[in-house]
Amino acid sequence: MKDWWQDNFPQGRQNLVIHDSQGYPIHIAYGEKGQGKPLILLHGLGSWSYNWRHSIEPLSQHFRVICCDFKGFGFSEKPVSRREENGHQIIELKRIIQALCDEPPIIVAESIGALISLGLAGKNPDLIGRLVVINAPIFTETLPHWAMGLLAQTPIEIIHAVDDLRLAYWFAPLVREVMGTERRKVIYNPSLLTEEDIYWITYPFIEIPGTLVKVAEDLQIAAKEIENLRTNQPSMLSNIQKNLKNIECPTLVLWGDQDSWFPASHGEKLHQHLSNSRLQILPNCNHDALTSSANVVNAAILEFLKDTN
């Protein structure tokens, strides 16, 4: 069978062991390519490192590119016997950086990965050298997709049962069709998403037990966070917003002008909250900027990093 990691990284898929937010050792899947300053690529919710398929090669010509799967996603460990804690991703990203980098890395992150990066940069400004965030759900007031809402409202015991029965595996063609249809809705030009893309995007859900459970857990945390923010209760989201003033590293905010999940006005608002930032609106680009506008995104990242070197 084709090995995506082996095809894209000289050493293929590597394993890093860190302690998670609860102190348990967990395995993080990652790949490396290139030399120079470390540049970490972080995916969004329900996704994995494959989303950076169009960026790895061009960025690795200038930097030591590190692609990581967050705990519970992609090929990283999925400890389904333990419920996740609020804010665990920020703690775990900090430990990934400390384990893999001997200097503050460049972080390039999309969607929830961008939110986690902003959260870490606000709490530990010295840990990140430069930052690129793409379509970050920093000011969201609702889960943006019906399937997210469904998973967030479904008792986790039911999700466990579905996962234990491997229903996604047995109904793989249907899963690919549904997820492919929904993914095309966040791409400005849907024809850019190939059948091979759909195969790899859905691969963890179909082939790797525990993926659905961990995605559901993080969605339930996200739904609670949004509700707390809406009702002025203490929340991680409000803390991240308050800590934006602490972020001093050069930051590039990229936002799709047609993002149907988080409007471009959120990008403008984020830019205003970051003292050392620049904003670039991506034309003809929906939420999945890495598929919609890969060449424009890569060029913007490289230009920003050259200017702020």
Quickly tell me which residue has 């930052």 as its tokens.
131
Strand-pairing partners, residue 108, are: 41, 132
Helices (H), the chain: 4-8, 56-60, 88-100, 111-123, 146-153, 156-164, 167-170, 172-184, 195-207, 211-230, 236-242, 264-273, 289-292, 294-307
Residue-wise pLDDT tens digits, 273-285: 999 999 999 999 9
Determine the pLDDT at residue 234: 86
What is the spatial distance between Cα 93 and Cα 68, in angstroms, rounded to a whole number? 10
Structure tokens at 194: 């190939």
Residue-wise pLDDT tens digits, 78-120: 999 898 888 899 999 999 999 999 999 999 999 999 999 999 9
Average pLDDT of span 31-49: 96
Residue 283's nearest CA partner among 299, 259, 265, 262 is: 259
Quote the Cα angle for 20-25-26, to 5°: 75
Determine the pLDDT at residue 280: 98
Determine the pLDDT at residue 27: 98
Determine the pLDDT at residue 1: 57
Structure tokens at 126: 């010295």
Structure tokens at 36: 């120079």
Residue 186's nearest CA partner among 46, 40, 42, 4 is: 46
Amino acid identity of 179?
Answer: M
- pTM for the structure as a whole: 0.96
166: left (phi > 0), else alpha (psi -120 to 50), else beta? left
Determine the pLDDT at residue 141: 87
